[in-house]
Amino acid sequence: MVLETLNPMHYNLSSLVPDTVPVATVPILILMFFLFLIWNHEETSSIPGPGYCMGIGPLISHGRFLWMGVGNACNYYNKTYGEFVRVWISGEETFIISKSSSVFHVMKHWHYVSRFGSKLGLQCIGMYENGIIFNNNPAHWKEIRPFFTKALSGPGLVRMIAICVESTIDHLDRLEEVTTEVGNINVLNLMRRIMLDTSNKLFLGIPLDEHAIVLKIQNYFDAWQALLLKPDIFFKISWLCKKYEEAAKDLKGAMEILIEQKRQKLSTVEKLDEHMDFASQLIFAQNRGDLTAENVNQCVLEMMIAAPDTLSVTLFFMLILIAEHPTVEEEMMREIETVMGDRDIQSDDMPNLRIVENFIYESMRYQPVVDLIMRKALQDDVIDGYPVKKGTNIILNIGRMHKLEFFPKPNEFSLENFEKNVPSRYFQPFGFGPRGCVGKFIAMVMMKAILVTLLRRCRVQTMKGRGLHNIQKNNDLSMHPIEQQPLLEMVFTPRRNTKKNQDD
């Protein structure tokens, strides 16, 4: 912090020279002062941010990312220097952007389709030039993405609605598996199990141990979050990375076993058509020589972790917001009753659930799970007048952007924020453009289906009147709640007003 303050853009350096220096040292000081100015001048950018200061600035900014966590560091820099800031990560120029016009520019253009992250960190978790989420080789990524797009749209998306309804009901019938000794529900765990089950049913179709895999996914996610921006030296100290290496190996091993079972199954089934899901498509691509076995495994792994890592936490936050806002709950229940009456949700109902949809958007704006998007510039460019060199790392701070522009009550949870049509440049919780979230449409139908199915059957309450603000969140790469807090538990009471519950 002290060194960041040496930025000549912010301070008058002549005031740093004391009055009483010996005569002989004055020319030396003046010389040093000019050398310092020249040195800094070369590195001073037109973009706001901490100074380069002979290379110490980059050390400090990377240190800040490691010490505060990525999310907190980004918010700190945007708050201190403005909505377009230059810092350094691993010595590489990195822009942190929370201005909607600049964010929109990056998302829209193909020369930002790559991401950035530590090569050694990504290798450790199997994501380096593999899979989709952090595949930073644009040519490889382009071959992989269509497999995801196909599985997450069209007939798969429609099938997912019935799968979500069935899985939610099934898990509500087995609530004892996620109930604590004092009778509260570990909602995050419940949501993770539903997400894993629904993802498995649509994308892989092999029976699995839900409890064990959910734990492995959590550990894998922690490893990813911890390693993504670590400096190379970290990976030289084997005992520091061991825990993360093991977490990655653990989930990769479990997935390999499931995929092998899938291969066996595909080689014995009579009607292949009935088994043509995401995993089968990848396995056949491997058989044709289009994909490596490693890539197939990583793609299935990423498809299986995508929903448990994002949707489960998002739905968990939503249930807390519902418990905290009874009038919003009443509004939604009235709409659900009008649109669906006594039956469960179907695909035709989706466009008619406007209040539920606005509630989902407002929850994602107010309490997001993903508030940062990492990209890399693949060519020189100019964004809102700022020059961007090829190779620059870019962090889009969408969490902050959603609280800065357009919304009438930016710092409150209020459905009024979505009463008027929101122009897309101001609200992008899934990103957009060629590298936007490939699961954004399926995520919306999954959230609607699970939320509505659950709310029709249960009323939710937070513990002892506690709310979202009490829950400690890990504002690093994502806003996952820190595990093992009793506050994560909630109380579910069956609703008496639905036909199903009355019959029961």
The binding site for heme comprises 437
Residue 291 is classified by DSSP as S
Nearer residue to ligand HEM within complex by CB, 6 or 151: 151
95 in contact with ligand HEM (CB under 6 A): no
Q: How far is the CB of 135 from ligand HEM (least distance, A)?
A: 7
DSSP conformation class of 96: E
| Distance of closest approach, residue 107 Cβ to ligand HEM, in angstroms | 6
431 lies in the site for ligand HEM, by CB under 6 A: yes
Q: Distance between terminal CA atoms of the chain? A: 63
User: Toward ligand HEM, which CB reaches closer, 369 or 468?
Assistant: 369
Give the rounded distance of the alpha carbon of 130 from its chain centre: 18
Burial zone of 252 (CB within 10 Å; 0-12 exposed, 13-18 middle, 19+ buried): middle
Q: Which residue is nearest to ligand HEM (CB)?
A: 431
Strands 373-376, 393-396: pairing kind? antiparallel
Question: Which positions from 151 through 190 interact with ligand HEM, judged by CB under 6 A?
Answer: 152
| Distance separating alpha carbons of residues 15 and 70, to the nearest angstrom | 34
Among 95, 147, 359, 430, interactor with ligand HEM by CB under 6 A: 430
189 exposure class (CB count in 10 Å sphere: 0-12, 13-18, 19+): buried
Give the H or E element holding residue 92: strand 92-97
User: What is the smallest separation between the CB atom of 437 and ligand HEM, expressed in angstroms?
Assistant: 3
Q: Does 438 participate in binding ligand HEM (rule CB under 6 A)?
A: yes
Q: Which one among 111, 119, 145, 473 touches ligand HEM, defined by CB under 6 A?
A: 145
- Shortest Å, Cβ 83 to ligand HEM: 18
Name the one range near ligand HEM by CB under 6 A: 38-46, 87-95, 145-153, 160-168.
Answer: 145-153
- CA pair distance 89, 119, nearest whole angstrom: 13
CA distance 421 to 407: 11
> Based on CB atoms, which residue is closest to ligand HEM, 125 or 437?
437
CA dist 486 → 410, 443, 464 (Å): 29, 28, 11
Centre a 10 Å sphere on the Cβ of residue 201 and count the other Cβ atoms it contains.
Answer: 17
Which tokens go with 273?
Answer: 């058509």
- Interaction between residue 314 and ligand HEM (CB under 6 A): yes
Please choose, out of 23-31, 243-251, 254-262, 310-318, the segment that lies near ligand HEM by the rule CB under 6 A: 310-318
**279: its two tokens:** 């995993």
For residues 51 and 40, the answer to whether their CB atoms sit within 8 Å is: yes
Least distance (Å) from ligand HEM to the CB of residue 342? 29
**Is residue 373 a contact residue for ligand HEM (CB under 6 A)?**
yes
**Region 116-135 residues binding ligand HEM, contact defined as CB under 6 A:** 132-133
Contacts to ligand HEM by CB under 6 A: 107, 132-133, 145, 148, 152, 302-303, 306-307, 310-311, 314, 369-370, 373, 429-431, 435-439, 442-443
